[in-house]
Protein backbone atom coordinates (compact mmCIF):
# COMPACT_ATOMS: atom_id res chain seq x y z
CA UNK A 1 0.00 0.00 0.00
CA UNK A 2 1.23 3.51 -0.81
CA UNK A 3 2.37 5.66 2.09
CA UNK A 4 -0.47 8.15 1.72
CA UNK A 5 -3.29 5.71 0.82
CA UNK A 6 -5.15 5.97 4.11
CA UNK A 7 -5.05 9.77 4.58
CA UNK A 8 -6.64 10.41 1.18
CA UNK A 9 -9.94 9.18 2.63
CA UNK A 10 -10.08 12.54 4.41
CA UNK A 11 -10.46 14.37 1.11
CA UNK A 12 -12.93 12.02 -0.50
CA UNK A 13 -10.70 9.62 -2.43
CA UNK A 14 -11.22 5.88 -2.13
CA UNK A 15 -7.89 4.04 -1.77
CA UNK A 16 -9.27 0.57 -2.51
CA UNK A 17 -10.75 1.88 -5.78
CA UNK A 18 -7.25 2.58 -7.13
CA UNK A 19 -5.44 -0.45 -5.70
CA UNK A 20 -4.43 -2.55 -8.71
CA UNK A 21 -6.46 -0.34 -11.08
CA UNK A 22 -5.01 -0.15 -14.59
CA UNK A 23 -4.60 3.53 -15.45
CA UNK A 24 -3.18 5.29 -18.51
CA UNK A 25 -1.81 8.84 -18.22
CA UNK A 26 -1.02 10.63 -21.48
CA UNK A 27 1.53 13.37 -20.92
CA UNK A 28 3.11 11.53 -17.98
CA UNK A 29 6.55 13.01 -18.74
CA UNK A 30 5.29 16.55 -18.20
CA UNK A 31 5.13 18.49 -14.94
CA UNK A 32 1.49 17.82 -14.11
CA UNK A 33 1.53 14.30 -15.55
CA UNK A 34 4.56 13.33 -13.45
CA UNK A 35 2.85 14.50 -10.25
CA UNK A 36 -0.28 12.54 -11.20
CA UNK A 37 1.76 9.42 -11.95
CA UNK A 38 3.53 9.66 -8.59
CA UNK A 39 0.20 10.09 -6.84
CA UNK A 40 -1.27 7.04 -8.60
CA UNK A 41 1.77 4.95 -7.75
CA UNK A 42 1.25 5.85 -4.10
CA UNK A 43 -2.33 4.59 -4.40
CA UNK A 44 -1.00 1.25 -5.70
CA UNK A 45 -2.49 1.69 -9.16
CA UNK A 46 -0.90 -0.02 -12.16
CA UNK A 47 0.27 3.09 -13.98
CA UNK A 48 0.92 3.28 -17.73
CA UNK A 49 2.09 6.38 -19.58
CA UNK A 50 2.22 7.62 -23.16
CA UNK A 51 4.06 10.85 -23.91
CA UNK A 52 6.97 12.54 -25.63
CA UNK A 53 10.37 12.52 -23.99
CA UNK A 54 10.62 15.19 -21.26
CA UNK A 55 10.85 18.64 -22.80
CA UNK A 56 13.24 20.06 -20.18
CA UNK A 57 16.44 19.20 -18.36
CA UNK A 58 16.07 18.70 -15.47
CA UNK A 59 12.55 17.24 -15.47
CA UNK A 60 10.32 15.96 -12.72
CA UNK A 61 9.82 12.73 -14.70
CA UNK A 62 13.54 11.96 -14.54
CA UNK A 63 14.00 13.12 -10.94
CA UNK A 64 11.22 10.77 -9.82
CA UNK A 65 12.72 7.95 -11.94
CA UNK A 66 9.27 7.27 -13.35
CA UNK A 67 10.74 5.60 -16.43
CA UNK A 68 11.67 2.67 -14.17
CA UNK A 69 8.75 2.79 -11.74
CA UNK A 70 5.80 2.68 -14.15
CA UNK A 71 5.00 1.32 -17.60
CA UNK A 72 6.30 4.26 -19.62
CA UNK A 73 5.92 4.39 -23.40
CA UNK A 74 7.40 7.26 -25.38
CA UNK A 75 5.20 8.44 -28.24
CA UNK A 76 3.28 11.34 -29.75
CA UNK A 77 -0.51 11.70 -29.51
CA UNK A 78 -0.40 12.99 -33.08
CA UNK A 79 0.70 9.46 -34.08
CA UNK A 80 -2.63 7.67 -34.10
CA UNK A 81 -1.21 4.20 -34.86
CA UNK A 82 1.27 4.34 -31.96
CA UNK A 83 -1.43 5.58 -29.61
CA UNK A 84 -3.77 2.76 -30.67
CA UNK A 85 -1.10 0.19 -29.83
CA UNK A 86 -0.32 1.81 -26.47
CA UNK A 87 -3.97 1.84 -25.40
CA UNK A 88 -4.63 -1.73 -26.46
CA UNK A 89 -1.55 -3.00 -24.64
CA UNK A 90 -2.24 -0.98 -21.49
CA UNK A 91 -5.92 -2.06 -21.44
CA UNK A 92 -6.70 0.64 -18.86
CA UNK A 93 -9.84 1.03 -16.83
CA UNK A 94 -9.26 4.79 -16.37
CA UNK A 95 -7.57 7.22 -18.75
CA UNK A 96 -6.30 10.70 -17.86
CA UNK A 97 -5.50 12.66 -21.02
CA UNK A 98 -2.97 15.37 -20.16
CA UNK A 99 -0.69 15.28 -23.22
CA UNK A 100 -0.75 18.77 -24.73
CA UNK A 101 1.13 21.76 -25.99
CA UNK A 102 0.64 23.72 -22.78
CA UNK A 103 2.16 27.17 -23.33
CA UNK A 104 0.37 30.27 -24.61
CA UNK A 105 3.46 31.82 -26.22
CA UNK A 106 4.42 28.56 -27.91
CA UNK A 107 0.96 28.63 -29.45
CA UNK A 108 1.85 31.93 -31.11
CA UNK A 109 5.23 30.56 -32.22
CA UNK A 110 3.87 27.31 -33.67
CA UNK A 111 0.08 27.40 -34.04
CA UNK A 112 -0.08 24.40 -36.37
CA UNK A 113 1.62 22.04 -33.93
CA UNK A 114 -0.50 23.48 -31.11
CA UNK A 115 -3.75 22.66 -32.90
CA UNK A 116 -2.44 19.29 -34.08
CA UNK A 117 -1.48 18.26 -30.55
CA UNK A 118 -4.32 19.75 -28.54
CA UNK A 119 -7.19 19.12 -30.94
CA UNK A 120 -6.24 16.14 -33.12
CA UNK A 121 -4.34 14.58 -30.22
CA UNK A 122 -7.58 14.59 -28.25
CA UNK A 123 -9.43 13.15 -31.25
CA UNK A 124 -6.87 10.34 -31.48
CA UNK A 125 -7.18 9.46 -27.79
CA UNK A 126 -10.98 9.37 -27.84
CA UNK A 127 -11.08 7.49 -31.15
CA UNK A 128 -8.67 4.87 -29.78
CA UNK A 129 -10.87 4.40 -26.71
CA UNK A 130 -13.71 3.23 -28.93
CA UNK A 131 -11.72 0.05 -29.57
CA UNK A 132 -10.54 -0.62 -25.99
CA UNK A 133 -13.38 -2.35 -24.11
CA UNK A 134 -11.61 -2.18 -20.73
CA UNK A 135 -12.01 1.61 -20.46
CA UNK A 136 -14.68 2.73 -17.97
CA UNK A 137 -13.79 6.42 -17.58
CA UNK A 138 -11.72 9.12 -19.26
CA UNK A 139 -10.87 12.56 -17.90
CA UNK A 140 -9.70 14.97 -20.62
CA UNK A 141 -7.70 17.76 -19.01
CA UNK A 142 -7.97 21.05 -20.87
CA UNK A 143 -7.55 24.51 -19.29
CA UNK A 144 -9.38 27.43 -17.73
CA UNK A 145 -8.33 29.28 -20.89
CA UNK A 146 -10.89 27.28 -22.92
CA UNK A 147 -13.51 29.95 -22.14
CA UNK A 148 -14.29 32.94 -24.33
CA UNK A 149 -12.60 35.38 -21.98
CA UNK A 150 -14.47 38.66 -21.60
CA UNK A 151 -12.21 39.65 -18.68
CA UNK A 152 -15.11 40.13 -16.34
CA UNK A 153 -14.63 39.99 -12.58
CA UNK A 154 -16.65 36.86 -11.79
CA UNK A 155 -15.59 33.31 -12.51
CA UNK A 156 -16.54 31.35 -15.62
CA UNK A 157 -18.92 28.45 -15.14
CA UNK A 158 -19.00 25.22 -17.11
CA UNK A 159 -22.03 26.46 -19.06
CA UNK A 160 -20.28 29.63 -20.28
CA UNK A 161 -19.20 30.01 -23.90
CA UNK A 162 -15.98 28.40 -25.13
CA UNK A 163 -13.57 30.33 -27.29
CA UNK A 164 -10.10 31.76 -27.56
CA UNK A 165 -8.49 34.79 -29.18
CA UNK A 166 -5.09 33.12 -29.61
CA UNK A 167 -4.06 29.61 -30.73
CA UNK A 168 -3.49 27.99 -27.34
CA UNK A 169 -6.84 29.07 -25.86
CA UNK A 170 -8.69 28.29 -29.08
CA UNK A 171 -7.14 24.81 -29.19
CA UNK A 172 -8.34 24.12 -25.65
CA UNK A 173 -11.85 25.31 -26.46
CA UNK A 174 -11.81 23.07 -29.53
CA UNK A 175 -10.62 20.10 -27.44
CA UNK A 176 -13.65 20.63 -25.20
CA UNK A 177 -15.97 20.55 -28.22
CA UNK A 178 -14.27 17.36 -29.48
CA UNK A 179 -14.69 15.72 -26.08
CA UNK A 180 -18.38 16.61 -25.97
CA UNK A 181 -18.94 15.28 -29.50
CA UNK A 182 -17.26 11.93 -28.80
CA UNK A 183 -19.15 11.56 -25.55
CA UNK A 184 -22.52 12.29 -27.17
CA UNK A 185 -21.92 10.36 -30.39
CA UNK A 186 -19.89 7.29 -29.50
CA UNK A 187 -18.89 6.74 -25.87
CA UNK A 188 -21.81 7.67 -23.61
CA UNK A 189 -23.28 4.14 -23.37
CA UNK A 190 -20.04 2.52 -22.21
CA UNK A 191 -17.50 5.12 -20.97
CA UNK A 192 -17.84 7.96 -18.51
CA UNK A 193 -16.35 10.95 -20.34
CA UNK A 194 -15.53 14.21 -18.57
CA UNK A 195 -13.34 17.24 -19.14
CA UNK A 196 -11.48 19.10 -16.40
CA UNK A 197 -10.55 22.78 -16.41
CA UNK A 198 -8.00 23.93 -13.83
CA UNK A 199 -6.38 27.25 -13.03
CA UNK A 200 -2.72 28.25 -13.30
CA UNK A 201 -0.93 25.39 -11.58
CA UNK A 202 2.25 25.81 -9.55
CA UNK A 203 4.37 23.28 -7.68
CA UNK A 204 7.83 21.82 -7.49
CA UNK A 205 9.45 20.27 -10.53
CA UNK A 206 8.27 22.60 -13.28
CA UNK A 207 11.05 23.83 -15.57
CA UNK A 208 8.93 24.82 -18.57
CA UNK A 209 10.10 27.85 -20.49
CA UNK A 210 7.86 30.92 -20.31
CA UNK A 211 6.14 29.94 -17.08
CA UNK A 212 6.37 32.23 -14.09
CA UNK A 213 7.73 29.93 -11.36
CA UNK A 214 10.35 28.19 -13.56
CA UNK A 215 11.47 31.54 -14.95
CA UNK A 216 11.87 32.91 -11.41
CA UNK A 217 13.87 29.85 -10.34
CA UNK A 218 16.18 30.07 -13.35
CA UNK A 219 16.73 33.79 -12.77
CA UNK A 220 17.65 33.24 -9.12
CA UNK A 221 20.02 30.37 -9.95
CA UNK A 222 21.74 32.45 -12.63
CA UNK A 223 22.00 35.53 -10.41
CA UNK A 224 20.06 37.83 -12.75
CA UNK A 225 16.98 39.90 -11.91
CA UNK A 226 13.73 38.13 -12.86
CA UNK A 227 11.72 39.81 -15.62
CA UNK A 228 7.91 39.87 -15.66
CA UNK A 229 5.90 40.17 -18.87
CA UNK A 230 2.53 41.10 -17.35
CA UNK A 231 3.03 42.00 -13.69
CA UNK A 232 -0.55 43.21 -13.17
CA UNK A 233 -2.32 40.27 -14.85
CA UNK A 234 -4.58 38.34 -12.45
CA UNK A 235 -4.58 34.54 -12.54
CA UNK A 236 -6.24 31.74 -10.49
CA UNK A 237 -3.04 30.19 -9.09
CA UNK A 238 -3.26 26.81 -7.32
CA UNK A 239 -0.92 24.08 -6.15
CA UNK A 240 -0.69 21.14 -8.54
CA UNK A 241 -2.13 18.66 -6.03
CA UNK A 242 -5.39 20.62 -5.82
CA UNK A 243 -6.73 19.82 -9.30
CA UNK A 244 -5.11 16.36 -9.36
CA UNK A 245 -7.15 15.36 -6.32
CA UNK A 246 -10.21 16.62 -8.19
CA UNK A 247 -9.38 14.59 -11.30
CA UNK A 248 -9.03 11.41 -9.24
CA UNK A 249 -12.26 12.05 -7.40
CA UNK A 250 -14.06 12.76 -10.69
CA UNK A 251 -12.78 9.50 -12.22
CA UNK A 252 -14.07 7.49 -9.26
CA UNK A 253 -17.52 9.03 -9.68
CA UNK A 254 -17.50 8.49 -13.45
CA UNK A 255 -16.93 4.77 -12.99
CA UNK A 256 -19.72 4.59 -10.42
CA UNK A 257 -22.30 6.66 -12.35
CA UNK A 258 -21.07 7.76 -15.77
CA UNK A 259 -24.22 9.58 -16.89
CA UNK A 260 -24.48 11.69 -13.76
CA UNK A 261 -20.87 12.81 -13.69
CA UNK A 262 -20.07 13.10 -17.40
CA UNK A 263 -19.45 16.58 -18.76
CA UNK A 264 -17.25 19.55 -17.93
CA UNK A 265 -15.85 20.42 -14.49
CA UNK A 266 -13.91 23.39 -13.14
CA UNK A 267 -11.24 22.79 -10.49
CA UNK A 268 -10.05 26.26 -9.55
CA UNK A 269 -8.89 28.04 -6.39
CA UNK A 270 -11.16 29.89 -3.99
CA UNK A 271 -12.98 32.99 -5.17
CA UNK A 272 -10.65 35.37 -3.35
CA UNK A 273 -7.44 33.51 -4.13
CA UNK A 274 -6.56 34.99 -7.54
CA UNK A 275 -3.33 37.01 -7.42
CA UNK A 276 -1.46 39.30 -9.75
CA UNK A 277 1.70 37.97 -11.38
CA UNK A 278 3.80 40.44 -9.41
CA UNK A 279 2.22 39.52 -6.06
CA UNK A 280 2.89 35.83 -6.60
CA UNK A 281 6.43 36.48 -7.84
CA UNK A 282 7.35 38.57 -4.79
CA UNK A 283 5.85 36.02 -2.38
CA UNK A 284 7.68 33.14 -4.06
CA UNK A 285 11.03 34.93 -4.07
CA UNK A 286 10.58 35.76 -0.39
CA UNK A 287 9.94 32.07 0.37
CA UNK A 288 13.11 31.18 -1.54
CA UNK A 289 15.03 33.70 0.55
CA UNK A 290 15.96 35.69 -2.53
CA UNK A 291 16.20 39.48 -2.49
CA UNK A 292 16.66 40.11 -6.21
CA UNK A 293 14.72 42.93 -7.85
CA UNK A 294 11.90 42.34 -10.30
CA UNK A 295 12.02 44.04 -13.69
CA UNK A 296 9.53 44.43 -16.54
CA UNK A 297 10.47 42.27 -19.52
CA UNK A 298 11.49 44.56 -22.38
CA UNK A 299 10.16 44.38 -25.92
CA UNK A 300 6.81 43.64 -27.51
CA UNK A 301 4.87 40.58 -26.36
CA UNK A 302 1.94 38.65 -27.84
CA UNK A 303 -1.39 39.58 -26.31
CA UNK A 304 -2.41 37.67 -23.18
CA UNK A 305 -5.54 38.18 -21.09
CA UNK A 306 -5.22 40.33 -17.99
CA UNK A 307 -8.01 38.81 -15.88
CA UNK A 308 -9.25 35.23 -15.60
CA UNK A 309 -11.20 33.41 -12.90
CA UNK A 310 -13.19 30.18 -12.85
CA UNK A 311 -16.17 29.21 -10.69
CA UNK A 312 -15.81 25.74 -9.15
CA UNK A 313 -19.23 25.65 -7.48
CA UNK A 314 -20.26 22.56 -9.44
CA UNK A 315 -17.28 20.53 -8.20
CA UNK A 316 -17.77 21.94 -4.69
CA UNK A 317 -21.43 20.99 -4.46
CA UNK A 318 -21.68 17.83 -6.58
CA UNK A 319 -18.31 16.17 -6.01
CA UNK A 320 -17.67 17.63 -2.59
CA UNK A 321 -14.28 18.85 -3.86
CA UNK A 322 -12.79 21.94 -2.24
CA UNK A 323 -9.36 23.55 -2.55
CA UNK A 324 -7.35 22.97 0.62
CA UNK A 325 -4.48 25.44 0.27
CA UNK A 326 -4.61 29.21 0.27
CA UNK A 327 -2.19 31.01 -2.08
CA UNK A 328 0.40 31.61 0.66
CA UNK A 329 0.63 27.91 1.50
CA UNK A 330 0.66 26.86 -2.17
CA UNK A 331 3.55 29.25 -2.79
CA UNK A 332 5.40 28.10 0.34
CA UNK A 333 5.13 24.41 -0.60
CA UNK A 334 6.36 25.15 -4.10
CA UNK A 335 9.36 27.07 -2.78
CA UNK A 336 10.18 24.29 -0.29
CA UNK A 337 10.36 21.79 -3.17
CA UNK A 338 12.83 23.93 -5.15
CA UNK A 339 14.92 24.57 -2.05
CA UNK A 340 15.09 20.83 -1.36
CA UNK A 341 16.18 20.17 -4.93
CA UNK A 342 18.85 22.86 -4.73
CA UNK A 343 20.14 21.28 -1.51
CA UNK A 344 20.44 17.81 -3.08
CA UNK A 345 17.56 16.09 -1.30
CA UNK A 346 16.12 12.74 -2.38
CA UNK A 347 13.36 14.20 -4.56
CA UNK A 348 11.30 11.01 -4.74
CA UNK A 349 11.06 10.95 -0.95
CA UNK A 350 10.51 14.70 -0.75
CA UNK A 351 7.77 14.68 -3.39
CA UNK A 352 6.07 11.77 -1.64
CA UNK A 353 6.27 13.68 1.65
CA UNK A 354 4.49 16.64 0.05
CA UNK A 355 1.74 14.33 -1.23
CA UNK A 356 1.46 12.79 2.24
CA UNK A 357 1.30 16.25 3.83
CA UNK A 358 -1.39 17.45 1.42
CA UNK A 359 -3.68 14.45 1.72
CA UNK A 360 -3.33 13.92 5.46
**Are residues 127 and 193 in contact, defined by beta-carbon separation less than 8 angstroms?**
no
CB 204 within 8 A of CB 358: no
Q: What is the pLDDT of residue 10?
A: 40
> What pLDDT sits at residue 222?
86
Domains and CATH numbers, the chain: 13-359 (3.40.50.720)
16-51 burial string, b = 16+ CB within 10 Å, else e? ebbeebbbbbbbbbbbbbbbbbbbbbbbbbbbbbbb
Paired residues of 200 in beta bridges = 237
Distance (Å, whole) CA 226 – CA 215: 7
Chain length of the chain: 360
Q: What are phi and psi of 327, to 5 degrees?
A: -55, -40
pLDDT at 292: 80
Q: According to the model, what pLDDT value does residue 49 have?
A: 98
pTM for this prediction: 0.94
Contacts of 135 (CB under 8 A, 6+ apart): 87, 92, 93, 94, 95, 129, 190, 191
pLDDT less than 70: residues of the chain: 1-12, 298-306
- Burial code (b: 16+ CB inside 10 Å, e: under 16) for 253-291 equals bbbeebeebbbbbbbbbeeebbbbbebbbbbbbebbeee
179 φ, ψ (degrees, to nearest 5): -60, -45
Question: What is the pLDDT at residue 6?
Answer: 40
User: What pLDDT is recorded for position 7?
Assistant: 40
**Contact (Cβ atoms closer than 8 angstroms) between residue 196 and residue 267:** yes
CA dist., res. 334 & res. 238, Å (int) = 10
- Give pLDDT tens digits for 111-161: 999 999 999 999 999 999 999 999 999 999 999 999 998 888 788 999 999
The b/e string for 98-120 (b: 16+ C-beta within 10 A; e otherwise) is bbbbbbbebbbeebeebbbbbbb
Quote the CA–CA distance of 161 and 315 in Å, as a whole number: 18
Amino acid sequence: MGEWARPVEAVGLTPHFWRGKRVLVTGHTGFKGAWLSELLLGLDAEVNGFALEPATTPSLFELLRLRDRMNSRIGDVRDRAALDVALREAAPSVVFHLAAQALVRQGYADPVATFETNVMGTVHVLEALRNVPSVEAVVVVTSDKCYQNREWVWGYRESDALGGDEPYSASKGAAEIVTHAYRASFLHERVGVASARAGNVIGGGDWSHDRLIPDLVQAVLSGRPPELRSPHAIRPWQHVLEPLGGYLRLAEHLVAARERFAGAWNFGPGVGDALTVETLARAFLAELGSHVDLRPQPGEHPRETSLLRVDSSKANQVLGWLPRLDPAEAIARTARWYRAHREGADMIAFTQSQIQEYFS
